[in-house]
Structure formats: C-alpha cells, structure tokens
Structure 1
C-alpha cells in the first residue's frame, strides 16, 4: 500500500518518535551504562551510612574510663599521693552553672557547638587554612563532643584506631544526648588543674564559691585553664592566665555574648583567689609531688589526662622518713620568721635518688619550688668547685699559701680591677693554706686561687659536676656570684661524696599503666668526672668546716657522724651544702624579693642541715668517707707547708694526692730514717698536737 500523500496546502506531518529512537536512545542507553556503577556505589554508600548510623543508634556507649585513679608511691612503695580521687569531682546540673562559664567555654573551645552534629566541618576547614598560612598547628578543630568522647571512653594514644573509635563515640553521644546534656557532661568532666575535676570543684578550688556564682571575669579565667593547666593556672603563671583570659573575653565579645565594655571591665577586675593548699594539696611532700607531675608531663611526655585519669602508677625515689625529717627541720628552723623562706633538697650520691625535697616553708601560701630556682647566688658554698679545679689541674695543693689581706686584683689584661673583702673585714694578715681558707671561708685566698687556675677551667669543672646555670669566668665567680639552684648544688657536692662519679638526679623510677605494663623506666646515667683521690682530698678539706674555727663549727655538736660541706653567705642568701657518704643536701634560706639578711637570719641554714641529716640517717650507722687508692696522709707544718719533723712546733695531718705531697722538711728530723711515703706520717705528734688529737686520729684512721 502506498503511503498517503498530504493534500495540497496541508503541512507535512513529521513523526518524531522514530527520530528520537534512532538518534538519542542509543546515547541514553550508553549514558545509563556509564552511570550504573557510580549510582550503585552511591546507593551502597548511602546504605552503609544508614546501616552504620542504625547500628550506632542501637549500641550502648561503653563505661566511661574516668574513674581510674592514678597513684604516686615512695621508695618503700607507700602511697604518697593519688590523682583524681572521687573527692575531686563534684557534678552539678547545667542549670547550676553560671551562663558566663558556658559562653566562655563555647567561645574558646567550640563556638559552633549548637549548630553542628558532633563534627564542625567549617571549623575544620578554617583550622586547616590557618595552619597552612602559619605553617604550624596553631589551631585545632576538635569539638566539645569529640573531646568528651575522648576523655570519657578512650586513652590519649595517637593512633588511627583511637581516632575511628572517637568518631563513632562522638556520633553516639550526639544521638543519645541533647546538646545541653553534652555540655553539662563536658563541664563536669573536664580537668581544671591542681586536682580539680569539673567546674564545681574548680570554682571551689580557685574562688571558694559555687559554679553558679562565678562572675564573667572568673568564668573567663577558668575557661582558659583546661587548654593547659600547667601553663594557664593562675597559681602557676599569672601572666599566662591573664593573657588567656584576655583572649577568651575578646572571643566572647566578637561572638556577641558580651559587649566590648564588659570584656574590658572583666579583664581589669582584680580577682581574689582562694589560697591553694586546702585538701589534698596541703598534704605530705607537696613540692615533690608537683615536681613529679612536672617531670612526668613535661619531661617524659606523659599525657596530663592520662596522668589524672588513666590509673597509672608512678614509682618515685622519695624516702618518707627523710622527707618527714626535712619538713620538720625547715619548720623548726624557721620559727620566729614571718616572711623568710627556706628550701632543702637531698640526694643519695650513690644512685642519684632524690630522697627529700622542701621547696618552701608553706606550700599553702606559696607553691614556688625554690629548690629548682636558678636565681640564687651560692656565695662561698661554690668555693669547693674552684679548689677542686685548682687541685686536679695541678696548679695548687692543700698547702699552697696566699696572704690573707686586703688585695686588689687586675684582670681583663689590666683593664679592670676587682677588690674583694672578707666577711666583717677580718683578715689573717699572714699566709694561709687551703684548709684554713676553706674552714674560715677566706675570700682573698679564693680570688687568688681563681686568678691562678683561670676562670674558664672553673666553669668547665662546674659543668662537669652538673651545674648548667650561666657563669662568667671572672674573678668574682670564686665567691659564688653566678646564680645556681639548690638541686644543682646538692648534685654537684654528691660527686665528692661518691668518689668523683656523678650520677644524674632521679625522681621517677618507673611508670606503669593500669594493667601493670611499664610505660617508662629510668636509666641510670653516671659518669666519672673527677679522679677519686682528688674528690677525697676535697672531702677531707671540707670536713674542717665543721671543726673548731670552721664556719659551721657551731652545729658540729648536732652531727654525730663524719660530715663534709661548705657554708655560703651573701647579702640576700645563706647556704649550707654538705654531705655524708649516704646523703648530699643543699639548704638555702633567704627572701623571695632579695631582702637583705640579718646575721641571725643567715645562721638558720646550718641548723636546718644538721637537724635534717641526723634525723634522716637516725637508723643508719655512722660511716667514714672511704679512702681511695692514690691518697697519702702526712704531717705537715701549717706555717711553712713543709713536712713536719719532730722538732717542728706545730703539726697537722694532711691528705694529698700521691705525688703532690711536700718533700721539703721543716726543722731537723729526729730520725733520719723517718718514713714520709704513701700512707705514712713524718714525725710524731708533740704536745702542741693534743689540741687537735681527735681530728688527727680520724684522718689517721682513714689512711
């Protein structure tokens, strides 16, 4: 059949379907085939997400891990502190928290908290841009919900497994709790420093008030602490705390929560803090406990949240008997003084264990640990380091003599002059040897010594002994004008007690987690920095400080065992650094604001040292300092420094490193065959020796 033709004048009819079918259908089919797998993948992804959300919705959140209590143990294994006991956390409803706290926390931690669903994508993008621009990790993007999930249910290890779990728990928290409930959980859980968990405990600790009563200024101050309690606590660093408060107030003003005038007024407000020290912090060894926390977090890298919540155990070197003796000695020794401060640190020179630490007389009033402060001049207590340098370098021996009289010393190629003076302008006006100079703390002799040996060598020796404070190799270094810390002085003198071997001070022996796994174990670091014979000769010389005529002779009756050491006094600082074979101890007294000491105030260091040493070692039998090989004891004439014969009017038994003892003889020897070799004594004591027979007997016995 022929196709019907259109009549003239009628439009031609076009059939589009065949054309579409022929031209476009193949293209549509081809496009469908291309989209099949992406669409299927998208559908699968949507199904996976939906299934995951459904799964998480049906799962219960794990038990929170915040209830684990960490412990600090002394050397005997007794508990001396706990971290995060239940008494430190006081939960309150969000309605009983000052609105300023909520706004301040959101402004600095998560300003889009009420807009996101657990993850702040905009905040993450903003943080990435800021960090790329500054080439650092200045800004983070962790939401409050993420922080809460991490703190409640997880450890703080940096692994992908932990991050995935954190994301899952974040979703579950958002599913199971309202935003207000999450905010309340966060504020009741977060750590505000000094043992305070939760905003209620923090309000009580810092301001002695309820969380509901916190002002804008107080709220902004507290909101800044969780970022880093060690750095932003007003008790630790007021400048950092105020700077952080300023940042938070500005953030609140920028968010429209407060006016700029309110922010400025709050920043200028003088806050009244509750004295730190009530409760647990006023207990046993508080300065040592703070020191342990500092070492664990800042030096060993233990996460502070893990320290406070992870159930770890810290094994320390503290000897509770010694610590109790130290606290009592400082307390009794400072009676009658309202403002004067004191510090004591004691180290076992044989292993470096810190046995006792008292950083001040009243932790409740002031938490500054003065045993660690490198701001105090050691005065004459630095002189043994100088004399050790002179002995070991071969420039001097114990009988090297200088005249004790007012003297001017030129240095720096004659361009400068130094004129030291003795205490109370008292001089021998005659030649004296090293033992006399140490016992009487003669400054003229000390400056003569440093001019002889050279200041650079003295600085080098001090570094070997563990003193890291800045020192200038100038004549005044001989008199202890370069500031040091008590812990460095105790460690340095421990080298003398330990036969020339320096052992790095240790406070933490090991740290274990809640299951007993060792997280950290101390390695003993020791080094022979002084020849044993020279260390012993210095010990023998420093024993004279406690003999008749010595600067510490007034306390000699309090110590019933061999002891060596050196006093030191400046206008503002007084020291006694001394040791037995078992303990090296530094005691400092003075004022925090460099107020000058009276004579009575300067004399407090020595009795504190004596009372502490005797009580700390009450159960330890007295021991003499062991005499190493290479030491000889000979009788010498103190006036001439020569070997003493029977006809010499005065004699003194003196210790020398073998080969450095004098060879010339004073007077005519009674017996030409008298033995003056190693281990012997030339001549015999005359009647003049009877005044010091006990000291000579002790030295003879050691030989």
Structure 2
C-alpha cells in the first residue's frame, strides 16, 4: 500500500515539473518573439526619421554635445555644492571677527580682522570713487547677471596675447563672493565655486547692495578692510572727503593691495592711480579735462614709515585668537575683542633690527636672503616674533608657517632620549663609521674621534654618534619626545631623522627648547595673555584657561642635558652666542648643502630661535648655525637681558659665565632712543599688577556713608593736605 502511494507521488511530481518547464519555455519563446517584433516595429518607425550626409553629422554632434554638457553640469554642480555650504540664512548679518591688540604693558599695537562699517551709505560715497572702481574692476557691472561673459572673453584674449596674466576676468560679484566665502587660492575648483556664488548673490541682492558690500568688505592693505577704513588709514579722512586723486589711488588697491599699497611703494601706487584715471576716461565715465587736475597733483598718503607695527606678531596672535574663539562658551556671542599680548615692544624692535642688519651686512656674502626669529619666556609667552625681512614685500610668516630642516639643532632630542634610558653625560660612546643600508653618514669634518663621552659628542655635534644612539634606543622614542615637547609637524621615521632631516617651524623648535629652560615641563606657546569683550569682561586668560603644564622630561635628565647644551655654547659650535656674565645653553644646526642655518638657545629668562636661509631652498654660501644665526641671537638676547632679574638655567647653576672674546657690535635700532634696555617690571610683578587691576574692576562699589559722599562722587571728598 505504501509502495503504491510513493509511486503515485513520483508521477505527480514529474508531471508538475514538466508542466512548469513547458510554461517557462513557452513564456521565454513568446517574450523573445515579441521583443523581436517590437524592435522591428521600432526600427521601421525610426527609419522615417533617418538622416544622411551633413544633417546626420549635425544631429550626432548635437546629441554628443547634449550628453557631455549634461555630464559637465552635473560635475560642476558637485564641485559647487561645498561653496553653498559656506552660506547660511544669516550670512549677511554675520559679524566678522575684529580684534584690537595690546602689548604686555597695555599699549595699542594694532588691529586685525574685519570691523564692519555700515555707517556710510552708498549715496555718501563720492561719485568719482564709485566710477573709478567700476571702470577698473567691472565696467559692465550693471549689465551682466553676475558673470561678465564678454569681459571674461576679452581678458582671455588679452592674456593670451601678452603671454601672461594682464587682465582679470572676474566680475565684481565674483570678487565679492571670493571675499565673503572663499580663499585666495588659484584653482579651477575655486573659480567654479566663485561663479556659482556670484549667481547666488545676484539672485538675493540688488546691484547697489552688492556694490556696497564690495566697497565695505574688500581688503585694501595696511590691515584696512573697506574703502572707508582705507581712506582713514592712508589719508586720515573719511571716504566722504577723499578727492579724485585719492579715490583713484584707493580704487587701484582692490586687486593687489600688497603690491600697490602707498605706504609700501608710493611710486607703484601713483602709477596704478594713473592707470585708474585712464580707465575712467576710456570707459567714458569722465573726460580727460576732469581728470587733468588729479594727474598733475597725485595723492600723498600719511607718512607711516616711523610707525612700527609688528605685523608678523599680530598675524600670529590673530590666528591664535581665531582658534580660541572656537573654544569659548556659546554664551559668548561677541565678535569684537580687546586682546592683551605678551609682546615686549623693545625686544621686538631689536629683533627686527638684528635680522635686517645681519642680512644687510652679511646676506650677500653668505647668499642668504631671509630669516626668522622667535623669542619667548620658558612658560611659552612669545615676547617677540619676526617672520621675515620685510612684511611689506612678503606677508608669509617664516617663523610660524615655513617648514625647514633643523639639522643638528634636532640632536638634543636624541641625546635626551639616551639620558632618559640610562645614559649619562660621561657614558662612553663610539664615533666611528656607520652605514644603514646604502646610507653612510659622515661628520662635518669627515673625521672620527673614536671612544668619547656623550657630552663631547654633543659638543662637537658628531653625526655618527647621533645615528648610533637613534638605532640603539629607537627613532619612535625620539619622535614621541619631540612631539611631547612641542613639535607639531609630521616627523617621518627615516634613518636621517636624528640628524634633523625632518621639517619643523621656528615657533615649534623654540617651544621645544623652552622645555629644557623651564625644568622639563610641557609648554603652551601663546601670544595671547588675556581676551576681553567690549564690555571689559575677561573671556579667556592664559593663567586660568590654558592647558596646565605636565612634566615631560624628568628633572634628573634636565640636570644632565642642560649642562651639555651649555657646554656646546661655551666650548663647542655655539661660541658666538655667548653673553657677558650670563650662562647660555643651546645648539647650532646646519643642513645638507647649507640650505638652512639655525641657532636654538636659552637662558634662565628667555628662549630664542633664529633661522636663516632662502625661500626657494637654494644653498647659502657655507653658512652654519654657529655663524650668522648665533651672532644674531646674541645681539637680541644681549639687549633682552638688560635691566631684569637674571635667573639660572635648571641644572647649570650659578657658576660664572666665561668672558667674551670680543665685545659685540652695537645695534642701530630705529625707534629706540638708546640700545640699552630700560628697567622693566619682572613677569611676576607685572602679573601682580594685573591681578590688582582685575580686583579693582571686579570689586563692587562701596556703599555710601550716612550723610557723607558716595564712593563715586569724588567732588564731595575733602581736599588732601600735607
């Protein structure tokens, strides 16, 4: 019975599978024949529209063009999307960051940021100023839709004929978009973003609003943003009061303020103003007779040559403020701050003069054209910073942004790792040939000293010993220590690492050496000491809000490494950095092909880093760290240590410093009546006075006494008698 049921089930299953197979086969057959018939019908239908010859070529090109154009639009939109993320609903009302900087004594240094000035309406701007701007920057401003296609094409043709950039193709709306939302980088991506944002601005603002924003937000050199600020900076008057010659000079600044700023290059500024007057006549906005007087009597700006502004320092401080603002509580909505810095104006002037005079006197001989200096206290307060020879010629800050190889000035990190792992200054090491693969480092004199102490090896800056130490204790430990001491740039684990074949900045190296000077504690480098809002309330203070220092090098190791670094200055490669009666510790640094020369040094009071070289990385004429950098360091520090309480270097003690071989050459410092530093308050005294100031400001007013005068009514107080 069971066998019969099994047999019938098998028959049923077989029939079911055969039925399914038949249905699938017939369905696929009908689908195939139907598809063939449909394709044939479609082909027959499309044959009615078949083209041949030239018509077919045109249609094909149009089709390809449509396809490629669609793909291009999609790609351009994808590139433009990041630009639109920069905008927001309140972008027009957004207040830009504006900072007034004070030196350590409370004197005004300068300003940075954009202080918006909407108090001058567009109709109060002189008509000839607006015409001068439009004639020079965008003559078809009121005719185009944000992108001047004709003007762009004309600029392309002119530049192609000239073989370089002679005319700009950006409309005024595009320039405003760049000023508001983008950077100055010259890339295709930025130009695409700029074009889309220009269209976006045109769709939301009137032409008059765009023009007003452009006149108010453009940077015109000298730290001035907007035409009114520029008029006050260059001519000492409101934009309402400028004459035609002054308006022409201002209009010439919009494209290249650093090149045509009158306080930097007056002949170039006047030549540019003459071009603007030509543009006014060429555009038909004014006649030759109307501009004749401006040609005969060109504008004369205020003489600011004697007004020393530490621009490199202010740039560094402003970048620090930008970062600090992001860390403030959300309750702080202010964007206008008064910031007290750690800058010592006299040390700053001496540092600038020392750098300039060193290059004037020895630059040609050494074939060196640039340099940088950073002076800070062992706690990280930056007292002076020079980022280059001339801020007017180049605003690039070589003290904070230039990545250069430190050479042998990097070796103290290697020796410190050795000391942290059991070595002593008296430990015997081998100065002998060594090869790592195909790389065989040699000493500066191409000779070897054999068995020597660790201190002697550092004194003579022996390369082979540094490489052996790195191989023994590991390059990773060296990198970790350097980063904990303040080096922020990437350090690659290569064989030449212990010889300084990495790229660092002067500010980072100075920060790292400050760890040696303060006894081994981490350092927070800072120009900003205190930030206040317009009401006077303190929103950030270094001693309260900055990261607390931690011990990164044991005191016992500091007591070993600092005498070794002091020995480098007194008996080694850094002899030219010695100070009369003051102990100095430090290290020289010279890179391959003499591209970079450093001296990094410190006393108990100050830490300083000096670099010399060339921006294009060309070699100097055998300049070493013990020559011009050490000499320049000595000039600055000799002045900085006058009139202050001298402190001892940790681990070095109060032993007398050796006498100098010869007296240093005196500096001629513009802006200083004498090269001897006036007696100043110590940092501790200055801090105590600052605390008293805060206590007085934060103290509540005294209650009035019955029948007597109030605390605020000075007129009611009796006269004081002696």
Matches within 5 A, 1:71-150: 71-82=100-111, 91-93=125-127, 94-99=130-135, 101=137
Which of residues 537, 554, 576 in structure 1 aligns to 2:576?
Answer: 554
Q: Is contact 2:459-2:567 (8 Å) kept?
A: yes
Determine if the alignment matches structure 1 residue 409 to structure 2 residue 435: yes
Aligned to 1:80, the other structure's residue is in SS state strand
Which residue pairs with 1:119 in the alignment?
Answer: none
Matches within 5 A, 1:245-394: 279=304, 283-297=308-322, 300-301=325-326, 312-336=337-361, 337=363, 340-350=369-379, 352-394=380-422
Distance 1:189 1:85, change over 3 A: closer
Q: Is contact 2:595-2:619 (8 Å) kept?
A: yes
CA deviations over 1:265-305 (Å, ceiling 9, x no partner): xxxxxxxxxxx9984897331100111222223563599xx
* CA deviation after TM superposition for structure 1 residue 440, in Å: 1.0
* CA deviation after TM superposition for structure 1 residue 187, in Å: 4.5
Q: Is contact 1:104-1:220 (8 Å) kept?
A: no
Q: Tell me, which stretches of 5 or more residues in structure 1 are unaligned?
A: 1-63, 113-122, 128-133, 148-173, 235-257, 259-275, 304-308, 411-415, 632-652, 654-691, 695-703
Q: Which has the larger radius of gyration?
A: 1
Q: Is contact 1:74-1:316 (8 Å) kept?
A: yes
Matches within 5 A, 1:47-58: none
Q: Distance in 2 between matches of 1:281 and 1:66?
A: 33
Q: Is contact 2:604-2:647 (8 Å) kept?
A: yes
Q: Tell me, which stretches of 5 or more residues in structure 2 are unaligned?
A: 1-92, 149-176, 182-191, 235-243, 262-282, 284-300, 329-333, 661-722
Q: Distance in 1 between matches of 2:339 and 2:143?
A: 36
Distance 1:511 1:397, change over 3 A: same
Distance 1:357 1:102, change over 3 A: same
Q: Is contact 1:109-1:144 (8 Å) kept?
A: yes
Which residue pairs with 1:701 in the alignment?
Answer: none
Determine if the alignment matches structure 1 residue 457 to structure 2 residue 481: no
Q: Distance in 2 between matches of 1:587 and 1:277?
A: 34
Which of residues 605, 616, 621 in structure 1 aligns to 2:640?
Answer: 616
Q: Distance in 2 between matches of 1:561 and 1:107?
A: 71
CA deviations over 1:545-577 (Å, ceiling 9, x no partner): 1223x1012343x44311111111112111110
Matches within 5 A, 1:581-600: 581-600=604-623
* CA deviation after TM superposition for structure 1 residue 141, in Å: 8.9
Q: Is contact 1:560-1:614 (8 Å) kept?
A: no
Distance 1:362 1:559, change over 3 A: farther
Q: Distance in 1 between matches of 2:649 and 2:435?
A: 37
Which residue pairs with 2:669 in the alignment?
Answer: none
Distance 1:574 1:334, change over 3 A: same
Distance 1:387 1:91, change over 3 A: farther
The number of residues matched between the two structures is: 452
- Structure 1 length-normalised TM: 0.56
Distance 1:282 1:423, change over 3 A: farther
Which residue pairs with 2:5 in the alignment?
Answer: none
Give RMSD over aligned pairs.
Answer: 4.8
Which residue pairs with 1:33 in the alignment?
Answer: none
- Structure 2 length-normalised TM: 0.54
* CA deviation after TM superposition for structure 1 residue 408, in Å: 2.6
* CA deviation after TM superposition for structure 1 residue 322, in Å: 2.2
Q: Distance in 2 between matches of 1:341 and 1:334?
A: 8
Q: Distance in 2 between matches of 1:277 and 1:443?
A: 54
Which residue pairs with 1:479 in the alignment?
Answer: 499
* CA deviation after TM superposition for structure 1 residue 221, in Å: 4.3
Q: Distance in 1 between matches of 2:374 and 2:492?
A: 26
Distance 1:302 1:285, change over 3 A: farther
Matches within 5 A, 1:565-584: 565-570=586-591, 571-584=594-607
Q: Distance in 1 between matches of 2:311 and 2:145?
A: 31
